Structure 1
Amino acid sequence: MWNFIKNREPNIHMKRLFEPFLSYRHFRTRAVDRQNTSSTGLYGFDHLKSPKGFQRFVDEAIERSSELIDYISGMPSSAEIVRAMDEISDTVCSVVDSAELCRQTHPARGFVEEANKASMKINVYLHFLNTNHTLYNAVKKAEQDGHLLTEEARRAALHLRTDFEKGGIHLPSGKLDRVNQLNMDAHKLCREYGENIINDPGYVDIFPASRIPRQIQHLLKPIYRLTSGVSKESLGSYEDEQEKGFRIITEPRTLFSVLQLTPDEQVRKMAYLKGNSVPHANHEVLDKLINSRHELAQFVRKFEASLGGKCQQLSGKIMGCKSYAEFVMQLNMASSPEVVVSFLQEISNMVKEKADEEFNTIRNLKRDVCGQRCVDLEPWDEAYYTTMMKSSAYNLDSAVVASYFSLPQCIEGLKLLVKSLFGASFDSVPMAPGESWHPDVLKMCIHHPEE
């Protein structure tokens, strides 16, 4: 269920597949559908006019999902089961996506804290859904009656059943509890990993300020340190003077600008090493996450082995894998880690000759600039010398090129891509009062003539 919610296929259009099977109130109020300028809450949800609205938002999502579970327990038709499951997914997604977006982008601490609480509560409920045998049995029924469904609905039922079984719903209660705990641990560790990156990006202090090019100084924080110098007024005595420098916060955007535009190799090296070695707390988090996922992938394998080879009787359960990679790849397009590795190796072989050629060109440019024929290309050199090479080849300043890629220009380019690839239009739409946290935020909407 959790994977289905995260990876719902955009082509499963339940409103087109089935006639409404029961009269129900819509949980969501879509801002895009509003025909007036009445005030709303964050992201178009009326509940989110204040931080505390997240509490009611998640409570109503759980209430509505519980109503749908009760309906599904009556074992309606296969089409109605899939439709109801889709609404559960849609309802829970509204909270999951809104809380995550708020956590990552909202400037107000109160909203972020309430979004965190809502996120934790809805994820606990997700694990309840993952272990709900009423839903699982209903999905199996819908899949068995697949001849009554459209191809899209059959695919939806298959993915739902698969995701239930990935969660170990077929295991005895004690073992299922362990699988649920592993899933919860993995989710918390993933969140902790991301939060550590945001809260502790790392930094390096550079003195003097002249080592930083002017065009990126606005991205950095000015700092000062005391230095001792000879006083002009009293020979032999000393007074403290302030020397200006800059603190480079090694978050991705700033780090890329420093690596791309800073001539001082030592500055690039310090920034690169710091940016790729923090936060240190994530070493332990990553170890725990790997162990948790590995145990999860192997858990059912051990259980099935204890049954004496009776795993074929477990309705095609797909847990019990050699690795987490194998666990997550099943039923995806690639189907196995081996296929992924083979694909990457094939791509690598195809581009190797050209990549080697480009590497040698960049290295030779560095040697010419440095005046040393034995110097080698380092990881912190690539962005800087590539930018220099492009500017030289096309007689263009990188700042001039960057000015072309302003936000409006990038949006226009994105519109062209969406139109040419998918035949869809991609347009800016107005927001209702209260829908965004800042007037500069843009809202884009995709329309397809056949969807």
Structure 2
Amino acid sequence: MSEKNPLLEPFDQAPFSKIKNQHFKPAFIQAIEDARAEIDAIVDNPDAPTFENTLEALDFSGHQLDRISSVFFNLNSAETNEEIQKIAQEISPLLSEFGNDIILNEGLFHRVKSVYEKKDELSLSPEQDTLLEKTYKKFSRNGANLNEEDKKKLRKIDAELSKLKLTFGENVLAETNKYELLLTNEKDVEGLPEGEKEAAEQLAQSKGKEGWLITLDYPSYIPFMKYAKNRELRKELSIAFGSKGFHNDELDNQENVLKIVALRHQRANLLGYPTHAHFVLEERMAETPEKVTDFLNELLEKAKPAAEREFKELEDFAKELDHIDRLEKWDSAYYSEKLKQKLFNLDDEKLKPYFKLENVINGVFKVAEMLFGLTFKEVSTIDKYHQDVKTYEVYDDSNNFISLFYADFHPRAGKRGGAWMTSYKSQFTLNGKNSRPHISNVCNFTKPTSTKPSLLTFNEVTTLFHEFGHGLHGMLANTTYPSLSGTSVYWDFVELPSQVMENWCYEKEALELFAHHYQTGELIPMEYVEKIKESATFQEGMATVRQLSFGFLDMAWHGTDPTNIKDVKAYENKAFEGTDLFPKTPETCMSTSFSHIFQGGYSSGYYSYKWAEVLDADAFAYFKEQGIFNRSVADKFKEHVLSKGGTENPMELYKRFRGAEPKIDALLERAGLLGKVPKGF
């Protein structure tokens, strides 16, 4: 008797320990077949189309396929290997083809359209109305109204895009993994704090090498750029980091970038949109490329004078300190850290002992308890894909089960860099049963060493709170339909719950909950807390301009016709013209490793980080007015934002929470960009 495939058995928790790589492809093929049968049953239903027998049936179809996909693609991000990557290349076109088979199914679209055309006669709830609107648009925006020949073109484009995006991401990961800087002279690690030196030494030992090993993974790269005295080595590392996918070799991404933007443009044109950005932004709060560009320019106008003053201040400081004539990109983090220490007498090494990872995790859980009545119970019985993963059951204050929560915090070879939230199971309500979600946070924080626990920089603390905010959006979901649940919202709204959570990291009342010295238990000194708040706007002009530059680059690639672009680097330089502060480095190229827009879902959406900052600053101003742990404000946020997912227009949800549309003033005030005057040194 052949072995059962665990992915094709009904499961609630992902059965990681039972899954072998060879299970994936057969499971996908079977689940696609089963999902097709469900679609056929909807199309072949002899009864007249209704909301229930068409829209609802469609939204709940393909459940097993969704579960298998979430397990597989999450592993491909967090615990991949060559075999999984190969399977991904084989599976992605099949999924893309299946997705197109649904969207281009004329019988199915006919049923959806006939319900849509009668919607004024139906007494639909706001959530049902949204599902109908979104489903109809999903068809029309993806080619349902095209002729047969154009539908074929669309399928071909989508299959090519799915493979190109995967290849792009694989190249970036391979570039990250293959670069190593082995230092054998202690003088070369001068300036690095003891903990960072020890981590670099242990990394070298783990690979059977003597000395200190520096890689392009964030926990290794960032401290070296911030503290290493050797300018030439900082330059080497900076160029290695900035030139991923830009070496004219087998891992080069220049051709992939040009192909991806060309195909996206063709796709948009085929569907009747001038550019990919017009297509994407129709389903965003921002609505049009013009509004995005105006928004970016408005912020640039406010931030650039401050950025230029800050850059001059940093340049003068580097010249005074080390006779640096020309400040380069690889000098930025190093001299910024030195200047920050001089101005505020505050550096990450002073703060890190107060931010032991386990304490910060307990702190973010405590904040969630005080705001939303949640408790997190660590359990060892939940199956997991790697020993580093921690697993929790989440309950509300009436002891109702809310969610499973997976937390995966340390870097390893099969895990892509950065930090993200994801889901292994969406929340939905079916036959009166509220099926609760399974949510995961994945980060890359320094591993404990033989002498020290994992100690976070303050920036990493805010990263953990940020991803946890996304996690809460998933955990507290309380909707009927899976496609509208949790983080299934407009992309320029999705960052509100994550970014608003970061604000608690700067507040004395919150820091008192978890910022205790890992050796003495002493509470973080309040003078440090004041300095954290004071230094929060340090170089905020430069940081804002940098973030805006990524938004401009994204819009440059996706808001125009890219057909005649031949040189990726030259085009990128043009996009950066209004935001450049540092001299250009010909050896580097941002676009060839800009995974957010070329592999992830942020194409034409990178501006949304800043857009969401306007929302989050405005939202947190409300908390500050009433008290940062005010339960009635938190209840409103939970009720109108966190639990509602994408069931209604996000601006309407926001206004219900806040009582008005957001204003840019709170962000400018928080960032210190209202008539900012630099500190002298």
TM > 0.5 fold call: yes
Which deviations, in whole Å up to 9, do the C-alpha atoms of 1:204-230 show, x marking residues without a partner?
Answer: 64665321235434337659xxxxxxx
Distance 1:172 1:184 in 2: 19
Shift of 1:272: 0.9
Distance 1:414 1:134 in 2: 49
Instruction: Verify: 1:403 aligned to 2:353, yes or no.
Output: yes
Specify the code of the residue in structure 1 equivalent to 2:387.
H
Partner of 1:5: none
Contact conserved, 1:200 with 1:278, CA < 8 A, in 2? Answer: yes
Distance 2:165 2:374 in 1: 35
Question: Aligned to 1:427, which of 376, 382, 401?
Answer: 376
Distance verdict in 2 for CA 1:440–1:170, change over 3 Å: closer
Secondary structure of the structure 2 residue equivalent to 1:437: coil
Partner of 1:338: 290
Partner of 1:129: 102
Contact conserved, 1:130 with 1:164, CA < 8 A, in 2? Answer: yes
Partner of 1:50: 20
Distance 1:382 1:333 in 2: 34
Bigger shift: residues 331-340 or 411-420: 411-420
For 1:13-412, what aligned pairs fall within 5 Å after superposition? 29-31=11-13, 41-42=15-16, 49-73=19-43, 74=45, 75-88=48-61, 90-106=63-79, 113-114=86-87, 117-147=90-120, 148=122, 149-201=124-176, 203=179, 205=181, 209=185, 210-212=187-189, 213=192, 215-217=195-197, 218-219=199-200, 222=204, 248-280=214-246, 281-299=252-270, 319-371=271-323, 375-412=325-362
Name the TM-score, length of structure 1 as normaliser.
0.72
Secondary structure of the structure 2 residue equivalent to 1:100: helix
Specify the code of the residue in structure 2 equivalent to 1:42.
F
Name the TM-score, length of structure 2 as normaliser.
0.49
Distance 2:375 2:259 in 1: 42
Distance 2:254 2:233 in 1: 25
Shift of 1:85: 1.8
* Structure richer in helix, relative to its length: 1
Shift of 1:289: 0.9
Distance verdict in 2 for CA 1:363–1:415, change over 3 Å: farther
Contact conserved, 2:93 with 2:159, CA < 8 A, in 1? Answer: no
Distance 2:32 2:118 in 1: 28
Distance 2:164 2:82 in 1: 22
Contact conserved, 2:268 with 2:274, CA < 8 A, in 1? Answer: yes
Distance 1:417 1:53 in 2: 40
Specify the code of the residue in structure 2 equivalent to 1:156.
L
Specify the code of the residue in structure 2 equivalent to 1:211.
D
Partner of 1:226: none
Distance 2:312 2:369 in 1: 38
Shift of 1:168: 1.6
Contact conserved, 1:203 with 1:271, CA < 8 A, in 2? Answer: no
Contact conserved, 2:175 with 2:245, CA < 8 A, in 1? Answer: yes
Distance verdict in 2 for CA 1:426–1:366, change over 3 Å: farther
Shift of 1:339: 0.8
Shift of 1:105: 1.6
Which structure 1 segments of 5+ residues have no match?
Answer: 1-25, 32-39, 224-242, 300-318
Specify the code of the residue in structure 2 equivalent to 1:275.
F
Which deviations, in whole Å up to 9, do the C-alpha atoms of 1:39-65 show, x marking residues without a partner?
Answer: x6129xxxx533233234324432432
Bigger shift: residues 344-353 or 189-198: 344-353
Shift of 1:157: 1.8
Shift of 1:169: 2.3
Contact conserved, 1:140 with 1:161, CA < 8 A, in 2? Answer: yes
Secondary structure of the structure 2 residue equivalent to 1:382: helix
Contact conserved, 2:181 with 2:213, CA < 8 A, in 1? Answer: yes
Shift of 1:334: 0.8
Distance verdict in 2 for CA 1:55–1:153, change over 3 Å: same
Distance 1:58 1:431 in 2: 29
Distance 1:344 1:424 in 2: 37
Distance verdict in 2 for CA 1:215–1:340, change over 3 Å: same
Bigger shift: residues 98-107 or 440-449: 440-449
Distance 2:151 2:315 in 1: 55
Shift of 1:340: 0.8
Partner of 1:315: none
Contact conserved, 1:197 with 1:279, CA < 8 A, in 2? Answer: yes
Secondary structure of the structure 2 residue equivalent to 1:170: coil
Q: Number of residue pairs matched?
A: 373
Secondary structure of the structure 2 residue equivalent to 1:427: strand
Which structure 2 segments of 5+ residues have no match?
Answer: 1-7, 247-251, 393-404, 406-438, 440-474, 478-637, 644-681
Distance 2:389 2:283 in 1: 41
Q: Please identify the structure whose Cα radius of gyration is greater.
A: 1
Shift of 1:337: 0.8
Contact conserved, 1:207 with 1:245, CA < 8 A, in 2? Answer: yes
Distance 1:182 1:352 in 2: 39
Specify the code of the residue in structure 2 equivalent to 1:29.
F
Specify the code of the residue in structure 2 equivalent to 1:219.
A
